[in-house]
Structure 1
Amino acid sequence: MTHTFHRFAPLLLACALALGGCSTAVPEGITAVTAFDATRYAGKWFEIARLDHSFERGLDNVSARYTLQADGSVQVINRGFSREKNAWKEAEGIAKFTGDPHTASLKVSFFGPFYGGYHVVALDPAYRWAMVVGADRSYVWILARDKQLPADIRAQLLAKAQALGIAVDQLVWVDQSRSDS
């Protein structure tokens, strides 16, 4: 038995280091929205723009649905259309507040015990649009209740993102033209 443990010890150590390195904290120099109301935030949001990552690559018509749970967590259902597979792709996860539920700083998991940061850093007073940053500046999403954002709001969010050190020139603008989304 000991021999087997020693054989896997480097892998276990690497996993432990990787998990310890996973951060759900707000990136340095960025502040999550306060006076946050999860009830108002719940519902369907359309992804307007994002920084590209493998888990969303090739998807358009992406949306997220947030549903409050009795235990204070938030069910998350992300959905997007893969043109390559000509099919919808869906992922279900859970989000939990990292502290005060009136601060828009959460951790979200789609893969069991592995969590990533989800921090709302800009939010329309009427909860019509939002900008979300992950645990670092390479995870950014611009979301809206409608499939399009007015040009002035888009410009305002791009200026805010740039001021936060986000690579706005690398944003992917999401096609939201499907009528069955």
Structure 2
Amino acid sequence: MDKKQSLLFLSAVAVGTLAYNVLKPVRSTVDVVEDFEEEKYLGKWYELARFDFFWEKNLKNVTAEYSKNADGSIRVVNSGFDYVKNKDKQSIGKAKFLDASDRGALKVSFFGPFYSGYNVVQLDDDYRYALVFGENTDYLWILSRNKNIPLEIKEKYLEYARSSGYDLTNLVWTQQD
């Protein structure tokens, strides 16, 4: 393969990869909260636990704040403090319901047209504590309206995650000062 053919091949692969990531359907393959009340879910949540990934590496005091956008989507503002770089970090995104807004199955994007799954799978009646799964077992969050969680709810959420196929060995408990 000469240089021109190699460049053409690499360009085709790049375009194909981009098209796949933009057009791929985001599906919820887990049981999500039914009778989900969007208005009650909006507001500030503290991240108590997560599986680490590149954006959240070395972050503490992580919060997620949800509010309505004019177009009906949900504005997502994730914030935290990078204790290694000694600076605040923030990411702003958008979430949309996959189906009806009374199901906890959403998709979220922080990078233009690229969405991934956000599934609210456990939620107490008062919307104080939530267990959220991503689109696969690499993503999991435990959220709370305050900086702690009762032991019985924590254990319930961890057991639910285990029984759903999550290996909790690498679960990170987020420092909240």
Task: Answer yes or no: same fold by TM over 0.5.
Answer: yes
Q: Which residue of 1 aligns with 2:26?
A: 24
* 1:171 Cα offset (Å): 0.6
* 1:6 Cα offset (Å): 3.8
* 1:170 Cα offset (Å): 1.6
What is the Cα-based RMSD across aligned positions, in Å? 1.8
Q: Which residue of 2 aligns with 1:59?
A: 59
Letter in 1 for 2:27: A
Output the CA distance in 2 between the equivalents of 1:10 and 1:155: 45
Question: Does structure 1 conserve the Cα–Cα contact (< 8 Å) formed by 2:22 and 2:113?
Answer: no
Letter in 2 for 1:15: L
Q: Which residue of 2 aligns with 1:102?
A: 102
Structure 2 spans left out of the alignment, 5+ residues: none
What SS does structure 2 have at the residue aligned with 1:162?
Answer: helix
Question: Does structure 2 conserve the Cα–Cα contact (< 8 Å) formed by 1:23 and 1:116?
Answer: no
For 1:98-177, list aligned pairs within 5 A: 98-177=98-177
For 1:6-85, list aligned pairs within 5 A: 6=8, 8-20=11-23, 22=24, 24-27=26-29, 30-85=30-85
* 1:19 Cα offset (Å): 4.1
Question: Does structure 2 conserve the Cα–Cα contact (< 8 Å) formed by 1:132 and 1:141?
Answer: yes
* 1:17 Cα offset (Å): 3.5
The worse-fitting range, judged by mean Cα deviation, of 115-124 and 7-16 is 7-16
TM-score in terms of structure 1 length: 0.89
Letter in 2 for 1:95: A
Output the CA distance in 2 between the equivalents of 1:124 and 1:10: 45
* 1:72 Cα offset (Å): 2.0
Question: Does structure 2 conserve the Cα–Cα contact (< 8 Å) formed by 1:44 and 1:66?
Answer: yes
Per-residue CA shift, 1:107-165, capped at 9, x if unaligned? Answer: 11100000011110000110000011111111100000010111111111111111111
Question: Does structure 2 conserve the Cα–Cα contact (< 8 Å) formed by 1:46 and 1:145?
Answer: yes
Output the CA distance in 1 between the equivalents of 2:33 and 2:150: 22
Aligned residue-pair number: 172
TM-score in terms of structure 2 length: 0.91
* 1:18 Cα offset (Å): 4.2
What SS does structure 2 have at the residue aligned with 1:14?
Answer: helix
Output the CA distance in 1 between the equivalents of 2:58 and 2:25: 26
